[in-house]
């Protein structure tokens, strides 16, 4: 009558119930062969009868080789990150790993906390999309010698594998598109310049403006992380003396905030003002006009992250690899030639 006080039956309970040894039971239940059909059946029956559930953490502990990998992401609200999470989860599952997701909520303190938690779960590897001020957090991981792949909000100076979108290029292309439409007063809305990728997006915009000789019109606006903050900042821009003829929103959430501001300022897309969104999202397809946007290659990025992780998992060490993928400019309806009024005013 072992373990009558415990709620969950253990492997030993199953073994005794089946009249075999723990070793045999273990072999059967963990899928290994080398057990007679008769006994195997007895074990399965006993397990089912007792409602046995294998204790995965004990197994991992014993084996010394964890079966899950951690994924820390900064914002569940951001479709882009969620898409990556889905891609990663699929890849991980295919390769027999479980993905443990943790949510930093754009808060460095919480990020650190979450990283520690995931680490304490003895994951085989860590994939992180960091938030602002992630420096300490990363040290934490690197000290553990846990395979690490960083994504999106990093650059190639980072001392580990990284996978990113070519933010600079995409942003520069987007700006070129706007310029080609005749826009000069183009404002770039960015959540914060504390984030590497946001900074690169801003830099890409600046580079394109310079290239076109529009130095005088460069306007980078730091809007904040939340839609509410962005809303307010954008409204300021729109109500300022000379209004831009085009807005380039540096991300998913920024676009949302900007749209609210445009609405409140009672302006119409694209006649009164053009809007280009860095990041595409499902809801953009139902706007009138359909938003022009820059689509990051989510699947490609997810796949690349996983490939890098797999190599690490297989023990391949070596110089950090820095992968960067081209984004796609989707010209739709929210970007149009500069209205004549604006041209005349200039």
- Restricting to residues 300-339, which ones interact with DNA according to CB under 7 A? none
Cβ 140 to a copy of itself shortest distance, Å: 8
Q: Find out whether 78 and 131 touch, Cβ atoms under 8 Å.
A: no
24 binds DNA (CB under 7 A): yes
Which among 27-35, 93-101, 151-159, 285-293 is the span making contact with DNA, rule CB under 7 A? 27-35
Among 45, 49, 55, 210, indicate the residue that binds DNA (CB under 7 A).
Answer: 55
Q: Find out whether 287 and 249 touch, Cβ atoms under 8 Å.
A: no
Quote the tokens at residue 200: 């690169």
Helix (H, G, I), strand (E, B) or coil at 88: helix
341 binds DNA (CB under 7 A): no
Distances (CA, A) of 255 to 108, 118, 145, 267: 23, 32, 38, 15
Instruction: Looking at the chain, list the stretches that DSSP marks H as alpha helix, in order from N- to C-terminal side.
Output: 11-18, 22-29, 37-50, 56-63, 79-94, 108-120, 135-143, 167-180, 196-211, 227-239, 252-264, 298-313, 340-345
Q: Which of 306, 276, 273, 310 lies closest to 290 in space, CA to CA?
A: 276
Cβ 293 to a copy of itself shortest distance, Å: 13
38 binds DNA (CB under 7 A): yes
Cβ 247 to a copy of itself shortest distance, Å: 13
Residues 314 and 310: their CA atoms lie apart, in Å, by 6
Closer CB to DNA, residue 62 or residue 326? 62
35 binds DNA (CB under 7 A): yes
Cβ 7 to a copy of itself shortest distance, Å: 5
117 binds DNA (CB under 7 A): no
The site partner of 38 among a copy of itself, DNA, none (C-beta below 5 to 8 Å per kind) is DNA
Residues that bind a copy of itself (CB under 8 A): 7-8, 51, 53-58, 60-61, 76-77, 79, 82, 85-86, 89, 93, 98, 100-103, 105, 113, 116-117, 119-122, 143-145, 227, 256, 259-260, 263, 281-283, 285-288
Closer CB to a copy of itself, residue 74 or residue 204? 74
Strand order in the sheet with 186-190: 219-222, 186-190, 246-249, 274-278, 292-295, 328-330
The site partner of 63 among DNA, a copy of itself, none (C-beta below 5 to 8 Å per kind) is DNA
Residues 188 and 276: their CA atoms lie apart, in Å, by 10
Helix (H, G, I), strand (E, B) or coil at 258: helix
Residues 281 and 291: their CA atoms lie apart, in Å, by 10
Residues 276 and 208: their CA atoms lie apart, in Å, by 15
Number of residues that bind DNA (CB under 7 A): 31
Quote the tokens at residue 226: 């939340």
Among 48, 63, 239, 268, indicate the residue that binds DNA (CB under 7 A).
Answer: 63
Residues 213 and 192: their CA atoms lie apart, in Å, by 25
Closer CB to DNA, residue 64 or residue 315? 64
Quote the tokens at residue 329: 């400019």
Closer CB to DNA, residue 55 or residue 285? 55
Cβ 240 to a copy of itself shortest distance, Å: 21
6 binds DNA (CB under 7 A): yes
Cβ 27 to DNA shortest distance, Å: 6
Cβ 324 to a copy of itself shortest distance, Å: 26
Residues engaged in binding DNA (CB under 7 A): 3, 6, 8, 10-12, 19-24, 26-27, 29-30, 32, 34-36, 38-40, 54-55, 58-59, 61-64
């Amino acid at each position: 009558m072992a373990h009558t006080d415990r709620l969950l039956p253990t492997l030993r309970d199953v073994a005794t119930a089946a009249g075999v040894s723990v070793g045999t039971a273990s072999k059967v239940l963990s899928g290994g062969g080398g057990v007679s059909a008769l006994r195997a059946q007895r074990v399965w029956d006993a397990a089912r009868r007792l409602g046995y559930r294998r204790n995965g953490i004990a197994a991992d502990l014993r084996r010394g080789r964890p079966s899950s990998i951690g994924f820390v992401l900064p914002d569940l609200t951001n479709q882009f990150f969620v898409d990556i999470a889905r891609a990663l989860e699929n890849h991980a599952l295919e390769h027999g790993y479980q993905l443990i997701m943790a949510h930093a909520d754009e808060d460095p303190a919480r990020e650190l906390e979450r990283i520690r938690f995931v680490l304490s779960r003895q994951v085989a590897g860590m994939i992180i999309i960091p938030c602002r001020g992630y420096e300490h957090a990363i040290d934490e991981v690197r000290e553990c010698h846990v395979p690490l792949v960083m994504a999106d909000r990093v650059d190639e100076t980072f001392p580990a594998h990284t996978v990113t979108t070519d933010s600079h290029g995409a942003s520069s292309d987007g700006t070129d598109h706007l310029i080609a439409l005749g826009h000069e007063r183009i404002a770039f809305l960015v959540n914060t310049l504390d984030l590497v990728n946001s900074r690169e997006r801003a830099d890409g915009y600046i580079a394109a403006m310079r290239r076109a000789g529009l130095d005088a019109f460069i306007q980078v606006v730091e809007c904040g992380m939340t839609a509410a903050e962005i809303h307010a900042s954008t409204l300021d821009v729109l109500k300022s003396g000379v209004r831009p003829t085009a807005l380039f929103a540096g991300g998913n959430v920024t676009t949302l905030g900007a749209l609210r501001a445009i609405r409140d300022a009672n302006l119409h897309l694209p006649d009164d003002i053009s809007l280009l969104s860095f990041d595409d999202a499902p809801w953009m397809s139902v706007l009138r006009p359909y938003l022009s946007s820059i689509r990051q290659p989510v699947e490609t990025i997810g796949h690349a992250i996983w490939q890098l992780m797999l190599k690490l998992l297989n023990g391949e060490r070596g110089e950090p690899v820095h992968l960067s993928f081209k984004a796609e400019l989707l010209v739709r309806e929210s970007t149009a030639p500069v209205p004549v009024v604006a041209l005349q005013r200039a």
